[in-house]
Structure 1
Amino acid sequence: MRNKKLCKESKVIQTHRVFPYDLNHHKTLFGGKLMSFIDDTASISAARHGRGEIVTASMDKLDFLHPIYSNHSVCVETFVSGVGSQSMEVFAKVMGEDLDTGERYLAATSFLTFVRVAGYGEGEKLPLVIPQTAEEKMVCSGYEKRKAKRSEDKSFYTEFNQAVSLTTPWMDDE
């Protein structure tokens, strides 16, 4: 029988203060910095769930919902929201907080896919995930639909990526 783990067993929360050097030219948190926070946090969730060597396969969806400003905090909360035999989907919720007023807001949401490194845990399926809270149940309930969409997209992007040129603009096309 396949092992099971609760969502909360993979839950990770990281909080960071946003400083002026973290900002882009719009004076909001640089998107790449936020993506790094999300990937770092989500990778810990995946490692906790799979207890092995894992790598980021994709950031499937990232929606920036609200800008994050200097002197706000950014809190990234992640947990495993679905599993295949060797891959895991991790949900990330990003909350901002104005440290002067205490106002909190949903800044972004994201789904990432992690895979177990070849040769690690070979033949052993990843544990299934069991949601408990209303939010976990809502997020996990959409896993199969998101997985099917990723599979559909993978076919397209495999062909697409083979057609992308490796010629650089400063070289001749010949």
Structure 2
Amino acid sequence: MDKKPCRDSLAVKTAHVLPPDTNNHGTLFGGRLMAYIDDVAAIAAVRHARKPVVTASTDSVDFLSPVKEGDSICVEAYVTWTHHTSMEVFIKAVTENLLTGDRKVCTTAFSTFVAIDENGKPDSVPQVYPVSDQEKELHASAPERADQRKKRRGHSKEMAATYGTRYPWNKAD
């Protein structure tokens, strides 16, 4: 499997924020932005793997600047690091006031995707290599983020086992 540069997976989506996209504060619903993030990141992962993918995790999504009705939102994503079957994708969302041209990064995030075969089982992906300084920085710091995700996933499994599927007041003593 040949290595591929990060930039080959770049995916971009730009949308105009209209009234149905906004909450009672006149800003983009956080869930709508998260859906854009997952959609664009999945496209980047499929472009890299050239296989179907599933979302394995999304790191914290912090809303840094509001996205207002009438603004545009541009979501960019590309693969920054790969393991055997998984890919880390960096996502950046930029809002723009279309009347003034003022642009702000409103969100950054990392998501992990796993390539799957025709049976829905994890499948190998090509390695990725960075070219730009930003890509090199993200690539170099990716193993540390992967380790943090592994620990967080373990904690999530512990929480699931502890709290189970029933509400506490429904548990048999």
**TM score, norm. by length of structure 1:** 0.90
Task: Evaluate the alpha carbon distance shift between residue 55 and residue 123 of structure 1 in structure 2; reply closer, same or farther with a 3 A threshold.
Answer: closer
Q: Which amino acid aligns with 1:74?
A: I
The ranges of structure 1 where at least 4 consecutive aligned residues each deviate by more than 3 angstroms after the TM superposition are: 118-125, 171-174
C-alpha distance in structure 2 between counterparts of 1:113 and 1:123, whole Å: 13
* Counterpart in the other structure of 1:152: 151
Q: Is the 8 A contact 1:81 1:140 kept in 2?
A: yes
Task: Evaluate the alpha carbon distance shift between residue 122 and residue 158 of structure 1 in structure 2; reply closer, same or farther with a 3 A threshold.
Answer: closer
* Counterpart in the other structure of 1:67: 66
Task: Evaluate the alpha carbon distance shift between residue 34 and residue 123 of structure 1 in structure 2; reply closer, same or farther with a 3 A threshold.
Answer: closer
Tell me how far 1:6 sits from its aligned partner. Answer: 0.5
C-alpha distance in structure 2 between counterparts of 1:88 and 1:60, whole Å: 13
Q: Deviations over 1:120-145 (max 9, x none)?
A: 69896321111112222222221010
* Counterpart in the other structure of 1:108: 107
* Counterpart in the other structure of 1:129: 128
Q: Is the 8 A contact 1:80 1:89 kept in 2?
A: yes
C-alpha distance in structure 2 between counterparts of 1:173 and 1:122, whole Å: 34
* Counterpart in the other structure of 1:51: 50
Q: Is the 8 A contact 1:42 1:112 kept in 2?
A: yes
Task: Evaluate the alpha carbon distance shift between residue 103 and residue 32 of structure 1 in structure 2; reply closer, same or farther with a 3 A threshold.
Answer: same
Tell me how far 1:119 sits from its aligned partner. Answer: 5.3
Q: Is the 8 A contact 1:3 1:126 kept in 2?
A: no
**TM score, norm. by length of structure 2:** 0.91
Give the 3-state SS of the residue equivalent to 1:76 in structure 2.
strand
Give the 3-state SS of the residue equivalent to 1:108 in structure 2.
strand
Across the aligned residues of Structure 1 and Structure 2, the Cα RMSD in angstroms comes to 2.1
Task: Evaluate the alpha carbon distance shift between residue 160 and residue 121 of structure 1 in structure 2; reply closer, same or farther with a 3 A threshold.
Answer: closer
C-alpha distance in structure 2 between counterparts of 1:129 and 1:21, whole Å: 38
Structure 1: tracts of 5 or more residues without a match: none
Tell me how far 1:64 sits from its aligned partner. Answer: 1.2
Q: Is the 8 A contact 1:14 1:77 kept in 2?
A: yes
C-alpha distance in structure 1 between counterparts of 2:71 and 2:136, whole Å: 29
Q: Is the 8 A contact 2:28 2:66 kept in 1?
A: yes
Q: How high is the sequence identity, in percent, across the aligned residues? A: 38
Q: Which amino acid aligns with 2:136?
A: K
Q: Deviations over 1:118-174 (max 9, x none)?
A: 5569896321111112222222221010011111112211111112242259x8544
Q: Which amino acid aligns with 1:97?
A: E
More strand by share: 1
- How many residues get paired? 172
Aligned ranges 1:81-96 → 2 under 5 Å: 81-96=80-95
Give the 3-state SS of the residue equivalent to 2:48 in structure 1.
helix
